[in-house]
Amino acid sequence: MKIKKIENRLSFFFLTLAITILNIHNLSILGIIIGSILSIFFIFFMEKLNIYKYKVIKIFLMFLTFFFMTIYLNKITYFIGDNILRNYSLISISLTIIIFTYYLANKGYHTIVKVIMLASYFIIFIFLIGFLFLFPYLNLSNLNINIFTSNNLFKESFYYAIFIVYSYFLIYPLSNTKFQIRDLVINSSYQILSFLSIFSVLGLTLESLYKYSYIVIFKKVSLIGFIERIEIIFSLNYLFIFFFLLVLSFYQIKYNLQYFIKKDKNQSIILIIITILIFCTNLLFT
Amino acid sequence: MKKYLILILLFLVTGCSSYIELNDLVIINAIGLAKQNNNYHLYISYVDEINKDTIEPTTTVKEMEGNSLNQIIDDLSLILSKKIYMSHLDLLVINDSIKTKELENIINYFLNNNETREDFLVINTDNIKDILEQTKFKEINDLIENNQRETSKTIYTTMYDVIENYYQKENIYLPYLTYNNSLTLKGLKVFSKNKYSLIEEDEVIYINYLLNKINSYKYSYECADDKFLYLNILGANVNELSKELLITNEIKVITNDCKLKQKEIEQIFNKNLKDNLEKITKKKLTIKNTIRGTYEN
């Protein structure tokens, strides 16, 4: 079966969203805009040179993905431990995630994007509801010049461009589809919108104080004293997105590994990588 | 291979390991905090059991003492042999002994505790114990909420506001309540430069102007003997510029015994507002009004 364009677009959308949310404290709106423009140049430059065909790039990408996975697995484990399973051990959480990741990534790219497509109905519905609920809490006086720019604008933009290029490598070369600028425009617009809503609800001071400001905003929601404490639903929403980031990252390693190790021994090597991942994240960072 | 994976996952995703019975939780709904002799004095109001007659949960207030908030709450957990559950915290009551250092500790405690929500009400009082024992949260909440909405004589302050103002080094405004057989709202306590000062109810309106939190209030003026001008200020919008405050009031005339003209009403109202606001701000004031109701043209 052929992979639909919308499936790739949605996967790219969730990937960039997950990376932005996980790095929210290091970004500003102008940083996102400049970073998006930078990433367009990077991506077109790389597509022109067709750098993905080089083995060196594949090896570099594998190591980069491995590095990102260790960081993100740790962040996601803490996210679940702090917001969803508060009394659960962190090692069990990361073990569960990594096993699910391994399982889904081994099913292949087609299955992954189909799962993302299915989950997207739930995720998009919850996001729309979220914006609707947050509407009474938006306070435009909280938006000041500091949220639009920052002192490290160049650094921020460069980081954001790297995140986008990284997301690009997890989707487009693997599915043999061409990158389109409008995909990125939609993503960046949505991210700017979510940035604005977070800052306008919390303000710059509170946003910088909270580790999970994107969840804290939903703690404020209370409609007619009946619909409240809905942040757990939004935590689940983010959990899905973070999970897709790990699955696609893992698939990237698996996919590139096939170029170097032809035999089925790949499976065991990947398992070793997973074990290293779990130990790295839990022993080094926890 | 897949079978083993599924088996491992089955054990991992059961959720049984973190399961806690409802009866094993201490559900805290209000906290009172004071500092005496370098020790925190904590009053914890928690849901105890359901009253069979009224079918409403009864609350118990426990008094504890310790060096830090964390230590006291850990001690409480040991004494009651239950897990402390703060997600339903509705009210934090403090008194004047809570200064900058203590506020910082409180803020840190709540910021580091993912279980709590910072949307609970924070009030100041001299009778922490009485308020927690003799009143219900709904009573306090309604008193402050209605007063802010109808009279603008108080400010509904949540923990979010306290945290924000603390880090922005701005004044922290807390509703000041007293309890003497009944609950009374006595204005606002302002925490600034490590000390509290009291703002009387009538002056709170002008603080609300500065904070752009005016909902509605009544204004009365005795224009002649036993003759009054009553105005209902339905709302006000304040635009804060660098050196100027632009205030737009929406006013409804309720009683105009002296048959004053619109311009005269505006003059009287604006003069009073300016005089009071000039006491608390150095900014230039520009007041615009939309007046409707019964007045002489």
Dihedral angle sign, alpha carbons of residues A165, A169, A171, A176: positive
* Contact call for residues B235 and B250 (beta carbons, < 8 A): yes
pLDDT confidence of residue A283: 61
Residues of B in contact with A86 (CB under 8 A): 18, 114-115
pLDDT at A35 over 70: yes
Band (B296; pLDDT cuts 50, 70, 90): low
Of chain B, the percentage scoring pLDDT greater than 70 comes to 95
Of chain B, the percentage scoring pLDDT greater than 90 comes to 19
Q: Helix H segments across B119-246?
A: 128-134, 137-150, 159-167, 201-210
pLDDT at A226 over 80: no
* Contact call for residues A36 and A19 (beta carbons, < 8 A): no
Question: Distance, in angstroms, between B228 CA and closest chain A CA?
Answer: 38
Chain A, 158 to 217: residues with Cβ < 8 Å from chain B are 202-203, 205-206, 209-210, 212, 216
* Contact call for residues A229 and A220 (beta carbons, < 8 A): no
pLDDT confidence of residue B176: 93
Verify whether the Cβ–Cβ distance B160 to A206 is below 8 Å: yes
Dihedral angle sign, alpha carbons of residues B63, B69, B74, B77: positive
Average pLDDT, chain B: 86
* Contact call for residues B166 and B172 (beta carbons, < 8 A): yes
In a mutagenesis test of the A interface, which of B18, B19, B115, B212 is the best target, namely the one with the most A β-carbons within 10 Å? B18
Band (A167; pLDDT cuts 50, 70, 90): confident
d(CA A95, CA A101): 10
Check if A220 contacts B (Cβ < 8 Å): yes
Q: At what angle do helices B100-112 and B159-167 cross, to 10 degrees?
A: 120
Which range scores top for mean pLDDT: A87-101, A166-180, A197-211, B96-110?
A: B96-110
pLDDT confidence of residue A234: 83
pLDDT confidence of residue A274: 67
A81-90, B102-111, B211-220: segment of lowest average pLDDT: A81-90
Both tokens of A253, joined, read: 């390693």
Residues of A in contact with B111 (CB under 8 A): 209-210
Residues of A in contact with B114 (CB under 8 A): 82-83, 86, 212
Average pLDDT of span A204-233: 79
Strands B217-224 and B121-125: unpaired
Both tokens of B175, joined, read: 């509703």
pLDDT at A61 over 70: yes
Q: Does the global pTM surpass 0.80? A: yes
d(CA A60, CA A67): 11
pLDDT confidence of residue B158: 92
Q: How many CB pairs under 8 A join A and B?
A: 53
* Contact call for residues A12 and A167 (beta carbons, < 8 A): yes
d(CA B222, CA B230): 9
In a mutagenesis test of the A interface, which of B88, B167, B238, B246 is the best target, namely the one with the most A β-carbons within 10 Å? B167
pLDDT confidence of residue A1: 64
Band (B175; pLDDT cuts 50, 70, 90): very high
pLDDT at B226 over 90: no
pLDDT at B297 over 60: no
Closest CA to B120 of B83, B156, B153: B156
In a mutagenesis test of the A interface, which of B118, B172, B213 is the best target, namely the one with the most A β-carbons within 10 Å? B118
Average pLDDT of span B6-34: 79
Band (A128; pLDDT cuts 50, 70, 90): confident
DSSP tag of A35: H
Average pLDDT of span B166-172: 89
Closest CA to B164 of A204, A220, A211: A204
For residue B1, the chain A residue with the least C-alpha distance is: A103
pLDDT confidence of residue B8: 74
Check if B17 contacts A (Cβ < 8 Å): yes
Domain span holding position A41: 5-285
Nearest by CB to A88, from B5, B18, B118: name it.
Answer: B18
pLDDT at B3 over 80: no
Higher local confidence (pLDDT), B80 or A263:
B80
Verify whether the Cβ–Cβ distance A83 to B114 is below 8 Å: yes
pLDDT confidence of residue A48: 83
Verify whether the Cβ–Cβ distance B163 to A222 is below 8 Å: no
* Contact call for residues B35 and B98 (beta carbons, < 8 A): yes
In a mutagenesis test of the B interface, which of A80, A103, A202, A270 is the best target, namely the one with the most B β-carbons within 10 Å? A103
pLDDT at B141 over 60: yes
Please, which contacts does B55-61 make with residues 24 or more away whose CB atoms are closer than 8 Å? B59/B29, B59/B30, B61/B32, B61/B129, B61/B132, B61/B133
Instruction: Give the side-chain half-sphere CA count within 13 A for A123.
Output: 21
Residue A222 CA, chain-centre distance (Å), reads 28
pLDDT confidence of residue B123: 94
What digits encode the pLDDT tens for the residues B234-260? 988 888 877 888 898 999 888 888 888
d(CA A267, CA A215): 37
Band (A266; pLDDT cuts 50, 70, 90): low
Check if A86 contacts B (Cβ < 8 Å): yes
pLDDT confidence of residue B280: 84
Question: Distance, in angstroms, between B293 CA and closest chain A CA?
Answer: 30
Verify whether the Cβ–Cβ distance A141 to B5 is below 8 Å: no
CB atoms within 10 A of CB A85: 18
pLDDT at B139 over 60: yes
The residues, ordered by sequence, that sit 6+ positions from B277 with a Cβ below 8 Å of its Cβ are: B206, B209, B210, B245, B285
CB atoms within 10 A of CB A178: 9
Nearest by CB to B5, from A85, A103, A222: name it.
Answer: A103
Average pLDDT of span B109-115: 84
Of chain A, the percentage scoring pLDDT greater than 70 comes to 92
Band (B215; pLDDT cuts 50, 70, 90): confident
Average pLDDT of span B173-182: 90
Band (A31; pLDDT cuts 50, 70, 90): confident
Give the total number of structural domains in chain A: 1
The residues, ordered by sequence, that sit 6+ positions from B275 with a Cβ below 8 Å of its Cβ are: none
pLDDT at A194 over 70: yes
DSSP-based three-state secondary structure for B285: strand
